[in-house]
A and B are shown apart, each in its own frame.
Chain A
Amino acid sequence: MSYIEFQNVSRIYQNRWYALQNVSFSIGKGEFVFIIGPTGAGKTTLLSHIYFKEFPTSGRVSVLGYSSDTISRDEIPFLRRKIGVIFQDFKLLFDRNVLKNISIALEVTGESPRNARRKAIEVLDKLGMADKAEKMPNELSGGEGQKVAIARALVREPYILLADEPTGNIDPESSEEIFKILKRVNDRGTTVIVATHNYNFLEKVVRKRVISLKAGKIESDEKFYIK
């Protein structure tokens, strides 16, 4: 079953610059996909199309049954509730503690504060961060900050987890830990898509797919199932 489908997708900025050019692929349930390529290759733009932050100039993107051709503004939040996104800069809220940073993802969609808090603690516990629940983001290390961001993305139990350069701002040891978490998430059936230019981590995932982008075009799309 295809969760994500790009059909001849092009994204042009300022009428002349192609961020994506005629990109086509489909990603199914439970896949672990690396989107690789140098800076400016179009990795972030591609991810942005998956959670409909951006729309193609031409072509069509379909995600979990929603199509870029037909999705309305009002439907986008409902799609986003099924997708978790993490970023290089974590995007944490510095005016509230770790627990609030995570539970906010549930509270804004109608979950009671009590349930949101319980689920946030559960996720933090799974990531070995339960003792940091009351800490403020500025009291965390880079690796811990990214774990909180992952916890926020996972607390809604998403179908798809998107990670845009998730290890870009953290030390190698923490990066390794982050990848272990992403693998564990993928093992439970969540589709994980990681955009990175850190190729060292590719070999750490056994069953994977690697889509290589260059200047907005797909250069290669390979699947690896055997080490």
Chain B
Amino acid sequence: MRNFILNEALGAYKSAKGMAWVSTAVSFTLILIFGASLYLSLTIFGILQTERRNVEIDVYLKEDLPREMKERLYSTIQGLAGVKDIDIVTKEEALKIFKNRYPEYSDVVSVFQDIPFPESFVIHLKPTWKNPELMEHIVKEISVLPGVDEVYAGTGWIARLSKISAFFITVSIVLLIGLFLAISYVIYQTIRLIINSRRELIEILDLVGATKSTIEIPYLINGTLYGFVGGLFAAIVLKLSLVLVGTLLSYHLPDHWFIYPLLVLIGLVIGLIGSYLSFEEILP
């Protein structure tokens, strides 16, 4: 039986002639586009996650703030929802940080008599609060507190990155739906063509007592093969393209390894569904 099914699946591939190539090529192209979009989404999402982890709110204090007021401010901020802990950065520490970060300008600050940097609190947030909307809310609360000169959270670019990430995720989902419909339609038509060209065989198999699954499986294998081969080539081409781009840019691109088996799996599932629908419609 296994021999029969494999032979017939191969025979069906031959019957499809040019359509087999069309199905495979369409599957390959669309899955590759989806894979590229998914890769971009995941990469941006990854950057966003990393940046969110490092996100903090800098609260610059007014000059010459009395000690008690600083302590009261510290306690008030510590009591706000979403605040995990607070680091105090003194003027001296701020200068040290500046010199470390911008050594080429370290001479510039030495012309000042006093240290030109204000004292500040660096607020670390709880993980669930590290998103632009909630951070904005905390920033507003802190800004109005007495003794606070300025608050910086850098939420603007995180919000922009979030929007870009959401855009790519939406594109990926739309592509997934689109490619599902397009590939399954092409495979559906191919299998339809094959079944029509092999009606006599199917009629004879039915006559001699072959079960529906015995008749059906070769065509399901065939349709699945178009999707599988398309997905496999898409995964290989995507991987090679990323290696090439990484080499050309001399940059180590992040590797989302699970994309490749996912693309193959998507091709396989869509192929299976397309051929199943075709068989069920023509030979219910």
24 sample A-B contacts, Cβ–Cβ < 8 Å, listed by A number? A77-B206, A77-B210, A77-B211, A79-B209, A80-B206, A81-B209, A85-B207, A91-B200, A91-B203, A95-B11, A104-B4, A104-B204, A104-B205, A105-B208, A105-B209, A107-B1, A107-B3, A108-B1, A108-B205, A108-B214, A108-B215, A109-B1, A109-B209, A109-B210
Check B207–A51 contact: CB distance below 8 A: yes
Which residues A102-160 have CB closer than 8 A to chain B?
104-105, 107-110, 113, 152, 156
B201 interface residue, CB < 8 Å from A? yes
A108 to B214 alpha-carbon distance, docked (Å): 7
Which of B11, B205, B207, B215 has the most chain A CB atoms inside 10 A of its CB? Answer: B207
Check A108–B4 contact: CB distance below 8 A: yes
Check B1–A93 contact: CB distance below 8 A: no
Contacts A81-B208, A108-B214 known; 9 new A-B pairs at CB < 8 A: A78-B209, A79-B209, A80-B206, A91-B200, A91-B207, A105-B209, A107-B3, A109-B209, A113-B3
Residues of B within 8 A of A51 (CB): 207
Residues of A within 8 A of B203 (CB): 91
Check B207–A74 contact: CB distance below 8 A: no
Which of B206, B207, B208 has the most chain A CB atoms inside 10 A of its CB? Answer: B208
Residues of B within 8 A of A91 (CB): 200, 203-204, 207
| Residue ranges of A at the interface with B (Cβ–Cβ < 8 Å) | 51, 73-74, 77-81, 85, 91, 93, 95, 104-105, 107-110, 113, 152, 156
B72 interface residue, CB < 8 Å from A? no
A69 to B1 alpha-carbon distance, docked (Å): 31
B212 interface residue, CB < 8 Å from A? yes
Nearest Cβ on chain A to B214's Cβ, whole angstroms: 5
Which residues B226-245 have CB closer than 8 A to chain A?
none
A113 to B205 alpha-carbon distance, docked (Å): 16
A80 to B206 alpha-carbon distance, docked (Å): 8
Residues of A within 8 A of B205 (CB): 104, 108
Given contacts A93-B200, A93-B204, A108-B214, contact A80 B209 (CB under 8 A): yes
Nearest Cβ on chain A to B236's Cβ, whole angstroms: 34
Q: Using CB atoms, name the residue of chain A closest to B208.
A: A105
Check A93–B201 contact: CB distance below 8 A: yes
Residues of A within 8 A of B215 (CB): 108
A108 to B207 alpha-carbon distance, docked (Å): 11
Q: Using CB atoms, name the residue of chain B closest to A82.
A: B209
Given contacts A91-B200, A95-B11, contact A110 B1 (CB under 8 A): yes
Check B208–A152 contact: CB distance below 8 A: yes
